[in-house]
Amino acid sequence: MLDIQKIRADFPILSQKVNGKPLIYFDNGATSQKPQVVIDAISKYYQKINANIHRGVHTLSQLATDAYEISRGKIQNHINAKHSHEVLFTSGTTFGINLVANGFAAILKPGDEVLVSALEHHSNIVPWQMLCEKTGAVLKVIPMNEKGELIMAEFDKLLSKKTKIVTTNHISNALGTINPIKYMIDQAHAVGAAILIDGAQAVPHLKPDVQDLDCDFYVFSGHKMCGPTGVGILYGKEDWLNKLPPYQGGGEMIKEVTFEKTTYAELPHKFEAGTPNIAGGIVLGTAIDYMNGVGFENIQKQELELLKYGTKRLLEIEGLKIFGTSQEKTSVISFNIKGIHPYDIGTIIDKLGIAVRTGHHCAQPIMNYFEIPGTIRASFSFYNTKEEIDVMVEAVKRATLMLS
Ligand SMILES: *Cc1c(COP(=O)(O)O)cnc(C)c1O
């Protein structure tokens, strides 16, 4: 078992008081906290090696370039990509999805179909809608059931020769559902469609193996997995990345520029125009090292305990309903209390130092399905404890009494 107190000591923010109370941070689904090694690595970069990458012959530029490429290699190993040039640095999940959706504008014809799951974050809906508007392709939705699971029989029916790309999250940010992506990838490929997996909520909890999954694209953000904001990864199969046009034009992504014609650089540089978030890219490697040091098996064990305990304790509260009751789920509990607006609970428990997310969680279609304005979402990380859950349960009880 993990020594949770030792782990918590790695995260300076966790010993802070908020509104005079010890911070209880249950908003990990929005962003995770950062361990001291990550914070130190950011300042070390700016103190010792800050320089632009891939450009200068001078020593610091070489050091920065090496550190950036070493980090790319770490990420390649972590997700088991075949080639390091299949691992593109982006600013985050949103950017990665937009890059792919934009690229498909050159591929789709009117009447082609794009399948999007009903469980998506807005950033995995809107870029595909924009793509369909641009190309005349048709957006179809893979429906969900009241447990918050995608209905695979309906998915199978929607697939056809017209399907050109399928997109789904690995894990739902709003409900915690773990989707059967291996099955979905195989089924998409069976009709000749590509498939993109939004792994933003998966990478904090598990280690995806992109070759075993055989997905065409896998995207995630650094900031939800102990890394800094403003950096993320788009994994794409080499063939697909060669097929897609560049997303942004600029420095670093070219082979040769004249006013008559520009030729593009090889992968991964073709998709990495301009000066990237160099510190972020390097430190994402540090964050991944940290998480592997804790160990994903340990992380999962601890988080499953928290999920089970939190579910049991919350259900003691009268009128409380949990949304998202899939067998396969991560440590996210989305709930409401009968007759009370989620925002009101969130505001009161914030005064007690407890950070939860309230609202639609950038997934309005899910809220529309349940006919609710939003939920209170407690999302646990491996550094959280059962004692913190006890404090939250008491706080929610207190808030409920005040509001009813
Ligand atoms: C957070 C999240 C996103 C968006 O990530 P950004 O880091 O804001 O770009 C997309 N999809 C899911 C499932 C998420 O949880």
Ligand 1-lining residues (CB < 6 angstroms): 92-94, 121, 123-124, 169, 173, 198, 200-201, 221
DSSP 47: I
Q: Residue 230 C-alpha to ligand 1 middle, in angstroms?
A: 12
**What are the pLDDT digits (tens) for 293-315?**
999 999 999 999 999 999 999 99
Going by their DSSP bridges, the two strands 332-337 and 320-323 should be labelled as: antiparallel
Residues 269, 121, single domain; the answer is: yes
pLDDT for position 83: 98
- Give the mean model confidence (pLDDT) for residues 143-156: 98
Q: Residue 169 C-alpha to ligand 1 middle, in angstroms?
A: 10
Domain boundary among 272, 292, 312: 292
pLDDT for position 400: 96
Residues 272, 301, single domain; the answer is: no
**What are the pLDDT digits (tens) for 87-122?**
999 999 999 999 999 999 999 999 999 999 999 999
pLDDT for position 56: 83
55 confidence band (pLDDT: 50, 70, 90): confident
Token pair, residue 36, equals 């001291």
Q: Residue 123 C-alpha to ligand 1 middle, in angstroms?
A: 7
- Give the mean model confidence (pLDDT) for residues 137-161: 98
Checking if the pLDDT of 73 tops 80, the result is: yes
Residues 211, 320, single domain; the answer is: no
Pocket test for ligand 1, best of 28, 32, 91, 93 (most atoms within 8 A of CB): 93
User: Could you tell me the residue range of the domain that residue 25 belongs to?
Assistant: 4-30+295-403
* 369, 142 contact by CB (below 8 A): no
362 is catalytic: yes
Token pair, residue 402, equals 């005040």
Who's near 8: CB < 8 A, 6+ residues apart? 14, 15, 383, 385
Residues 185, 288, single domain; the answer is: yes
Ligand 1: atom nearest CA of 223 is: 7
pLDDT for position 300: 98
CA distances 106 to 74, 102, 126, 253, 255, Å, are 32, 8, 18, 19, 21
**What are the pLDDT digits (tens) for 228-269?**
999 999 999 999 999 999 999 999 899 999 999 999 999 999
366 CB neighbour count, 10 Å cutoff: 27
Ligand 1: atom nearest CA of 169 is: 13
Domain count, the chain: 2
**What are the pLDDT digits (tens) for 362-378?**
999 999 999 999 999 99
327 CB neighbour count, 10 Å cutoff: 8
- Give the mean model confidence (pLDDT) for residues 280-284: 98
Going by their DSSP bridges, the two strands 87-90 and 332-337 should be labelled as: unpaired
Domain boundary among 292, 318, 343: 292
Percent of the chain exceeding pLDDT 90 equals 98
What CATH number should be reported for the domain holding residue 25? 3.90.1150.10
Residues 138, 164, single domain; the answer is: yes
Pocket test for ligand 1, best of 89, 90, 121 (most atoms within 8 A of CB): 121
Ligand 1: atom nearest CA of 91 is: 9
Residues 52, 194, single domain; the answer is: yes
pLDDT for position 122: 97
332 confidence band (pLDDT: 50, 70, 90): very high
Q: Residue 347 C-alpha to ligand 1 middle, in angstroms?
A: 24
383 confidence band (pLDDT: 50, 70, 90): very high
SS3 343: helix
Ligand 1: atom nearest CA of 30 is: 1
Checking if the pLDDT of 67 tops 90, the result is: yes
CA distances 69 to 39, 121, 279, Å, are 20, 30, 12
* Type of residue found at 228: P
SS3 234: strand
Residues 328, 278, single domain; the answer is: no
Q: Whose CA is nearest to atom 12 of ligand 1?
A: 200
Residues 281, 299, single domain; the answer is: no
SS3 178: strand
Checking if the pLDDT of 1 tops 90, the result is: no
Residues 196, 315, single domain; the answer is: no
**What are the pLDDT digits (tens) for 29-41?**
999 999 999 999 9
DSSP 250: S
Ligand 1: atom nearest CA of 29 is: 15
Checking if the pLDDT of 76 tops 90, the result is: yes
Q: Residue 202 C-alpha to ligand 1 middle, in angstroms?
A: 10
pLDDT for position 91: 98
Domain boundary among 292, 312, 332: 292
CA distances 108 to 42, 103, 171, Å, are 41, 9, 27
Among candidate residues 132, 215, 226, 362, the one labeled active-site is 362
Q: Residue 365 C-alpha to ligand 1 middle, in angstroms?
A: 16
pLDDT for position 342: 97
What CATH number should be reported for the domain holding residue 55? 3.40.640.10
User: If you average pLDDT over every residue of the chain, what do you get?
Assistant: 97
Residues 157, 233, single domain; the answer is: yes
Residues 180, 199, single domain; the answer is: yes
Residues 216, 326, single domain; the answer is: no
Q: Residue 221 C-alpha to ligand 1 middle, in angstroms?
A: 7
